Amino acid sequence: MATNFTKELIVQPGKKHLNLSKWDPDDTLGWEKDHKAKTCLDKCLERLDELQYLLYAEHKRSLLVILQGLDAAGKDGTIRHVMSGVNPQGCRVTSFKKPSAEEEAHDFLWRIHRAVPPVGDIGIFNRSQYEDVLIVAVHNLVPRSEWSKHYDQINNFESMLSQNGVKILKFFLHIGKDEQKRRFQERIDDPDKRWKISEDDFKERKFWDAYTRAYEEALVRCSSADAPWFVIPSNRKWFRNLAVSHIIVETLEAMKMEFPPPTVDVKKLKWK
């Protein structure tokens, strides 16, 4: 099945409004969970490994993958499955939790910039700069006039990164409220997963509608040609992995990377 995941799932830059209720978290774009989907994913991950090697060899650009989503949306699972085949030497994952005292003493983008991948590498953000807007907006921690300005600052920041060779892909892992409840219950029932449950998970669930509205605003205000947002239907984990991996591969291939020329004249090299 020929599917352009990038075209199908992108939040078009310049879009004025977004209603997440019209994006079905169960959608699979016509794909079925069968051997074809598995084969396609396996080939995609194999290609990703090749492209990561090329990205490292070319050593001109880097790739930054940002994962956002409500609790239990599958950020960890996406990282584990999609990046399973890449060389860990050229891939670094950064998880952004509550800022430390040092981080709070700087602007909200300071800790983000420090984690941006260097040329040749892939960086993955588990949560990101958007947390500093989403949480503040949902819980009304400061007036809207203050936190709303962060969107423009984020856009400028991402544009600056793009102009300096950082390709940015942002994925919103979209799950339904019932699916989140099912995953929470699964964690409660499984002794090996109970460590992942916290009281905050259940407290934040009460703000589901507020988070949805906050994400809708973030997605439309900050999806740009430099750093597009993608809404990934994520109720079905296998499709989530398929879609994210395809978009990453499609993006890297579109960069038209090339191996650099050798630094020596290989014809003059002789064995002794």
pLDDT digits (tens, 9 = 90+) for 120-169: 999 999 999 999 999 999 999 989 999 999 999 999 999 999 999 999 99
Give the residues of the chain that fall short of pLDDT 50: none
Tokens 């310049």 locate to 14
Residue 83 lies in a domain: yes
Query: Would you state the structure tokens that stand for residue 121, as one six-digit string?
Result: 């590498």
Residue 239 lies in a domain: yes
Q: Report how many domains make up the chain.
A: 1
Domain that holds residue 30: 5-256
> What global pTM score does this model have?
0.96
Q: Return phi, psi of residue 215, to 5°.
A: -65, -40
Q: What pLDDT score does 1 carry?
A: 57
What is the CATH number for 143?
Answer: 3.40.50.300
